[in-house]
Amino acid sequence: MTAAYRHLRVRPEAHGFGAAVTGLRLAEPLAPPVLDEVRRAWTDHSVLCFPDQPLSHAQLEAFTAQIGPFGHDPYATPLEGHPHILEVRREPGETSRRFGATWHSDWSFLETPPAATLLHAKVTPPVGGDTLFADTYRAYESLSPVMRRLLDGLRAIHSPRRSHGSKGDFAKDQGQRAMDLVIGDQAEEARAQPLVRLHPVSRRRALYISPIYTIGIEGMAEEESQPLLDFLFARMLEDRFIYRHRWHPHMLTMWDNRCTIHYADGGYDGHRRVMHRTTVAGEVPMGVQ
């Protein structure tokens, strides 16, 4: 059982995946014991939200840096003067595909994908705009022992080509877009990652695949790998593993890309939505064999 928190209040979601954290001000540097408890809560619940946290650009950057060194965002243009902040903006009349509107773990095709993503709500629409998270720990743990043993030895192929490639979703999109995304042949890169990832802190195993970035399994033909991937995607996205996160102004949310995937929901056409996003650098994904 997790020890009680002394310096903050943690209210978990019903099944323990995701939690709200109160009793602290992120605009100020956190004392080491408080930061340790934030890290522990993040390990325990994978997704943390911090309600009512007004933050300037500098304050968002400072809190991110307390979690760890900044990550790299390869296919989106950051805010001018703030190279570590990406503005996720959608205007009322926009008809283009939503950024993040496919299930994914951020930049999982990189050699060292980001460990954490932080998203701060600046403008929230009156309806819609939720973010959905899937718990890939419990999705893996729900599989049979035989299936887990099979998956533990596999490596999945990750690539940004389906989204950012010259023939990807964003390249096909003819709608006007408020965000400046990088699209083209440079997004044809691909990298093998462990299909089952061992978390470096919790030491739990999680499925490390997503429908948009995972394009195959190393050593398998497509007709072999795709049915297996489709089965795993369907398992990961069962309702029992999903947390629907509702935003409020000034809310900061931080999630662990090593054991979750997420999806930016819609339902707010005709309204503006603005979020500021940072990432924390991760490590080379670790397999279990």
Give the Cα separation of 178 and 176 in Å (integer): 7
Nearest to 74 by CA among 171, 193, 160: 160
Nearest to 210 by CA among 220, 195, 225, 221: 195
Pairing of β 155-158 and β 191-194: antiparallel
Pairing of β 19-22 and β 47-50: parallel
The encoded tokens of residue 68 equal 């760890």
Residue 277 known to be catalytic: yes
Residue 72 known to be catalytic: no
DSSP state of 240: G
Catalytic-labelled residue, pool 45, 89, 106, 256 = 106
Residue 104 known to be catalytic: yes
The encoded tokens of residue 237 equal 């996205």
Give the Cα separation of 62 and 22 in Å (integer): 19
The encoded tokens of residue 135 equal 């718990």
Catalytic-labelled residue, pool 197, 258, 262, 276 = 262
Nearest to 15 by CA among 150, 195, 141: 141
Q: Where does 84-194 have alpha helices with state H? A: 136-141, 145-152, 161-164, 169-172
Catalytic-labelled residue, pool 89, 98, 104, 161 = 104
Residue 262 known to be catalytic: yes
Which active-site residues does the annotation give?
104, 106, 262, 277
